[in-house]
Amino acid sequence: MNSKYIKIMEEIKLRLAGGSLIAGSKLPSVRQLSEYFSCSKNTVIKAYEELEKEHLIYSVPKSGYYVVNEFLKATEEIEVIDFLSAGPDKNVMPYVEFQHCMNQAIDQYKEDLFTYSDQQGLYSLRVQVVKYLQDLQVFTQPERLVVVSGSQQALHLLVSMPFPNGKNNILIEQPTYFGFIESINMHQATAFGIELSMDGIDLDRLEYIFRNNDIKFFYMIPRFHNPLGHCYTNSEKKKIVELAEKYDVYIVEDDILGDLDPNPKSDPLFSFDPSGRVIYIKSFSKVFLPGLRIGAVVLPELMINNFLRYKFSSDFNSSALSQGALEIYLKSGMFNSHLKKVKEVYRNKMQILQEACEDLLPANTSFSKPSSGFYLSISLPENVTAKQVVHMLNEQHIYVDDASRMFLPEYKKENLIRLSISQVNECQIKLGVERLAHCIALIDSRKNKMTPNQFLHI
């Protein structure tokens, strides 16, 4: 038989679900409920305490108990196959563990929460991030590291600020991360492109661009590229750094998914850089919690003060609470344990996706073959556009990404789609690819049979 306090909890939950109690509602007093349920006040207090632990209510001293939020009413769920979302897998996120770190951070850093903290980032966090980066073959000091509000902020600031080489233009891989293209467009910066495939880039072409186009920096995603999934070899990275040094070009290395690399001998460009030529960016959004909005950038010493000036104009400093919680999470060793788990999850998903593509996609398509990471791209037949595939799949609640937004106008391809394995369930991958393959074949066959006039009206 249920204890009385459980019955009280169930009654309140029913009212929350039914909508008679909404966010901010004041709950009956302890005395009122003890009389209503014919129980002691201690029983009511225990029920309220348990509801507080579930974050359904909160107490205000000398006032009473109030509802935090009402239950969302259940709706009929539609099965979705999500190859579009690029946040981390929700099923492996360490919510409970990190909640402990947040609570501890509130106690440990309560004074910092109500003042402006170190603009460069909490020193204690920078120490922990430097230790963590050593496992990625990035060896630096806390003084060269700046905590940012996610890697996107660092990229946005680097586009806008002057560099010591006095140059103005930016070079990007084609395709590349669309958020960086957006930053270029927002600042009306001049950008050049260099074509990237799973075979890499043309290093002779790279040298020509470095020599002739006043390049401020070359933005690269060297491991598990977005959207291709490509990884550079160590020899290619070394050669690129040598060319950057020769022509006074900086490199911005976006190593957002470097943690997932199963190859222990794969090094970042930063490790081949003896002179501070490489600016290294690390985010925790993809393998941890995107809402944390914490990233780090390792800068040459002569750029730090200027970078901090630009950051000051953006947000002054990043969240002290998020920084404190991440420091505790890193220091405790919980992050390394979490990382081992997610590396296995994403590698398994990528293997399943590649096997499904190999078995099911039409012969006139091709796809990239990354060893891990989030992204795999598919090149569609010439007469099939990504836009059409996306539209047809959306009607079946299957979501993929049209990669045309990841190109500069002069490089744009309309027949490339990106699949992300981060939030799709393993059991849905094969079914999703099967429906994708059917969609491609259907559009392809329709177009081969249509007149030009009919084709225009698809």
Q: Sign of the C-alpha dihedral, residues 171, 175, 181, 185?
A: positive
* Cα–Cα dist 335/345, whole Å: 15
**Are 144 and 301 in contact, with CB atoms under 8 Å apart?**
yes
pTM, two decimals, is 0.79
Say which DSSP state 142 is in.
G
Structure tokens at 125: 């966090």
- 200-219 as b/e: b if 16+ CB within 10 A: bbeeeebbebbeebebbbbb
What are the DSSP calls for 215-249, one per residue?
EEEEEE--SS-TTT-----HHHHHHHHHHHHHTT-
Q: Pairing mode, if any, of strands 278-283 and 81-82?
A: unpaired
pLDDT tens digit sequence for 160-175:
999 999 999 999 999 9
* Cα–Cα dist 296/283, whole Å: 6
Residue 458 has a pLDDT of 40
pLDDT surpassing 50 at residue 454: no
Lowest mean pLDDT among 109-123, 207-221, 248-262: 109-123
Share of residues in the chain with pLDDT > 70 (%): 92
One of 2.40.128.20, 3.40.50.300, 3.40.1260.10, 1.10.10.10 is the CATH number of 4-67, namely: 1.10.10.10
* Matching residue, tokens 């799973």: 198
Strands (E), 299-347: none
Structure tokens at 81: 């196959």
pLDDT tens digit sequence for 294-313:
889 999 999 999 999 999 88
Task: Go through the chain and tell me how many residues it has.
Answer: 458
The residue ranking higher by pLDDT, 14 or 290, is: 14
The residue ranking higher by pLDDT, 98 or 294, is: 294
The confidence band for 110, taking pLDDT boundaries of 50, 70 and 90, is: low
pLDDT tens digit sequence for 228-276:
999 999 999 999 999 999 999 999 999 999 999 999 899 999 999 877 9
**Are 320 and 149 in contact, with CB atoms under 8 Å apart?**
no
pLDDT tens digit sequence for 321-375:
788 888 888 888 888 888 888 899 999 999 999 999 999 999 999 999 999 999 9
Please list the residues that pair with 172 across neighbouring strands: 193, 219
Alpha helices in 167-300 (DSSP H): 178-186, 203-212, 234-246
CATH topology for the 94-334 domain: Aspartate Aminotransferase; domain 2 (3.40.640)
Residue 339 has a pLDDT of 87
Lowest mean pLDDT among 32-41, 263-272, 398-407: 32-41
pLDDT surpassing 80 at residue 69: no
Residue 112 has a pLDDT of 63
* Cα–Cα dist 405/390, whole Å: 13
Domain 336-456 has what CATH class?
alpha beta
In this prediction, residues 432-440 reach a mean pLDDT of: 96
* Cα–Cα dist 228/409, whole Å: 18
* Matching residue, tokens 């470095």: 210
The confidence band for 116, taking pLDDT boundaries of 50, 70 and 90, is: low
Say which DSSP state 251 is in.
E
Residue 450 has a pLDDT of 47
Residue 325 has a pLDDT of 82
Q: Where are the domains of the chain?
A: 4-67, 94-334, 336-456
Residues in CB range of 235: below 8 A, 6 or more apart: none
Residue 384 has a pLDDT of 94
Across the chain, mean pLDDT equals: 88
